[in-house]
Amino acid sequence: MTPERRLLSIVAPCYNEADALTAFHTALAAALAPLPYAAEIIYVDDGSTDATPQVLAALRARDARVKTLVFSRNFGHQAALLAGLDAAQGDAVVTLDSDLQHPPALIPELIRAWERGADIVYTIRRETADASLSKRLTSRAFYWLLNRVSDTPIIPGAADFRLMNRAAADSFCSLRETHRFNRGLVSWLGFRTAAIEFDAPARFAGESKYAFARMLRFAVHGLVSFSVWPLRATMLLGFGMAGFAALYIIYALFAFFVLAWTVPGWTSTLISVLLIGGVQLLSLGIVGEYVGKIYEEVKGRPLYVVRERHGFGDDQPSEGASSAAGTRNRSA
């Protein structure tokens, strides 16, 4: 196959990005122009409530390469990425954020790494210009912990800005777990990889949708999806407490029968009850986190619901959304 005939897919999720999208598209088009590939640009509107749909319609009118998927509501960044990858037809698929924090100018470099034989090209964020110190520290601590406890190595700072060739993208799309932690899933896949570093600029417009609580939830999902270490730690804690309790019982019996020394013992009773109660609640919480996950997975719901598709040749405004509801819709 000659390079000229190859197709490159770009997947960009957007959630309330009306202010950044036009600038993003201009930068993207400029980055794609010198490349010897045909391109399709898939924007996934993740249930935006601002003018994003209108901006996307304008981009579609201006640029025939633009395709859009509109979700029926907000399903989250990871689901939007998956929907774009499901729909992408290209020989290589590049995913990047539409807020210009993943510089489109880097795409040619990703392509070169792919041409040199990499199946997956990662990008690693060196510095996020507008990330607060606390976000940087918590992010670093999270990746440190995750890599200690998980069997799948996960590169710190790896962004959801990456290129996958067709085989890698197909394998990625075959993973249909509900609580997605895409960075971990991509590492899990394996393949021949290459990495490129970049400096993330500040957000072009709008604000980050990952507030602290959301980051924390994301981190817990990442941990529980890729490690059973918390369960194991709970068990160890349980063993430790049981051992301690056994020794204490022996001591108590010894004190009662041999020393005949039975003080009221209020303090020690209270402490042991509180301690054991606390450990039990903690353990239950951890087990509950996993049980909740199992419940979500067992329901087997689609990972996203598409309300409208534009530019794919089978446009279906409003109706027939179920056929595109997060199940694979590309038969190839």
Nearest Cα residue to 107 out of 163, 191, 147: 163
The option from Mg ion, ligand UDP, none interacting with 15 (CB < 5 to 8 A, set by class) reads: ligand UDP
**Binding map of ligand UDP across residues 223-262, x = CB under 6 A, - = no contact:** ----------------------------------------
Q: Under rule CB under 6 A, how many of the chain's residues touch ligand UDP?
A: 16
The option from ligand UDP, Mg ion, none interacting with 14 (CB < 5 to 8 A, set by class) reads: ligand UDP
Locate 129 and state its tokens: 């210009």
CB 115 to ligand UDP: min, Å: 26
Q: Is 78 in the site for Mg ion (CB under 5 A)?
A: no
Q: Is 98 in the site for ligand UDP (CB under 6 A)?
A: yes
- Gyration radius from the chain CA atoms: 25
The residue to which tokens 């993973």 are assigned: 175
Question: Which residues 91-120 are close enough to bind Mg ion by CB under 5 A?
Answer: 99, 101
Q: Is 157 in the site for ligand UDP (CB under 6 A)?
A: no
Binding segment (CB under 6 A) for ligand UDP, from list 73-81, 191-199, 223-231, 232-240: 73-81
Cβ distance 95 to 20 under 8 Å? no
Binding segment (CB under 6 A) for ligand UDP, from list 58-66, 186-194, 207-215, 260-268: 207-215
The whole-angstrom separation of Cα 52 and Cα 67 is 14
Q: Is 15 in the site for ligand UDP (CB under 6 A)?
A: yes
DSSP 8-state code for residue 93 = E
**Binding ligand UDP by CB under 6 A: which of 209, 218, 231, 237?**
209
Q: Which residues touch 222 (CB under 8 Å, ≥6 apart)?
A: 142, 146, 154, 181, 183, 184
Binding segment (CB under 6 A) for ligand UDP, from list 11-19, 26-34, 113-121, 226-234: 11-19
**Binding map of ligand UDP across residues 174-193, x = CB under 6 A, - = no contact:** --------------------
Instruction: Report DSSP letters for 157-193, one per residue.
Output: TB-S-EEEEHHHHHHHHT---SS--HHHHHHHH---E
CB 330 to ligand UDP: min, Å: 21
Cβ distance 110 to 94 under 8 Å? yes
The residue number whose beta carbon is nearest to Mg ion equals: 101
CB nearer to ligand UDP: pick between 201 and 238: 201
**Binding map of ligand UDP across residues 19-48, x = CB under 6 A, - = no contact:** ---------------------------x--
CB 255 to ligand UDP: min, Å: 58
The whole-angstrom separation of Cα 51 and Cα 67 is 17
Cβ distance 141 to 168 under 8 Å? no
Instruction: Report DSSP letters for 285-298, one per residue.
Output: HHHHHHHHHHHHHH
**Binding ligand UDP by CB under 6 A: which of 9, 68, 95, 101?**
101
Q: Is 91 in the site for ligand UDP (CB under 6 A)?
A: no
Binding segment (CB under 6 A) for ligand UDP, from list 96-104, 146-154, 231-239, 262-270: 96-104
Measured on CA atoms in the order 21, 23, 139, 174, is the torsion positive or negative? positive
The whole-angstrom separation of Cα 159 and Cα 96 is 9
Q: To 10 degrees, what angle do helices 18-32 and 52-62 make?
A: 30
CB 10 to ligand UDP: min, Å: 13
Q: Which residues touch 45 (CB under 8 Å, ≥6 apart)?
A: 14, 15, 52, 53, 56, 68, 69, 70, 71
Q: Which residues are near Mg ion by CB under 5 A?
A: 99, 101
